[in-house]
Copies of this chain bind each other. A is one copy, B any other.
Amino acid sequence: MDKLKKKIVEAGEIREGQVLKVDSFLNHQLDVELLYEIGEEIYNLFKDRKITKILTIEVSGIAIAVMAAMYFKVPVVFAKKTESLNLDSDVYKGKVVSYTKNKEYNIMISKKYLNQDDRLLIIDDFLAEGNAMKSLINLAHESGASVEGIGIAIEKGFQNGGKYLRNMNFNLKSLVIIDALKEGSIIFRDEQQRP
């Protein structure tokens, strides 16, 4: 998605440890016009999959998920991050190890909002090692729902999440894949080379 690439080049900041900071349009300030186009692009990629619900995870996935949901005309469910597992019993729950933040957290989804008739599109802003995504997929499968697609705004192609999910035959599409991040240079994967 050229517009997203352009924005990453113009406004993204590369930090130590191959961290890409996109606070100015995606993770703190939100460029709503761009998010709307991201939503449309995700719709075009998955519109044939009879999606009944969009699943994401708080916080930064929500804005993109809502935009896509306007096109699909389906509800969004966002998994909640929790500090403890002191929750209602009526939830699907999982654990996520975050390497960037060097900590472990729990996620949960109320059982009311996912069921075996759901055909899910999972959306997130970033895919790196894919730990949050794997946990979301587990929760979705626990409910009996099918994962019809995974839509990502920015995939870090030099980390393992994308490779893992494609090897597992998930229908993963990323609007932008970054193959390398170095000071002053961001290498994008060519559209034609994209899986």
Residues of A within 8 A of B (CB): 23-25, 28-33, 35-36, 58-59, 62-63, 66-67, 69-70, 73-78, 80, 109-110, 112-113
CB <8 Å contact, B69 and A66: no
B32 contacts A70, CB within 8 Å?
A: yes
Nearest first, the 6 A-B pairs at minimum CB distance are A30-B76, A32-B69, A29-B113, A58-B59, A29-B77, A63-B66
Partner of A32, one of B23, B29, B36, B66: B66
Assess the B28–A78 pair: CB atoms within 8 A: yes
CB < 8 Å neighbour of A30 from B32, B33, B69, B110: B69
In the complex, the answer to whether B78 meets A33 with C-beta atoms within 8 Å is no
Q: Decide if A113 touches B36 in the complex (CB within 8 Å).
A: no
Chain B residues with CB under 8 A of A77: 28-30
A24 to B92, CA, bound (A): 16
Beyond A32-B73, A59-B78, 15 extra complex contacts between A and B, CB < 8 Å? A23-B110, A23-B113, A28-B77, A28-B109, A30-B75, A30-B76, A30-B78, A32-B66, A32-B69, A32-B70, A32-B74, A32-B75, A33-B73, A58-B58, A59-B62
> Hey, which chain B residues are within 8 Å of A31, CB to CB?
75
**Cα separation A128 to B109 with both chains bound (whole Å):** 25
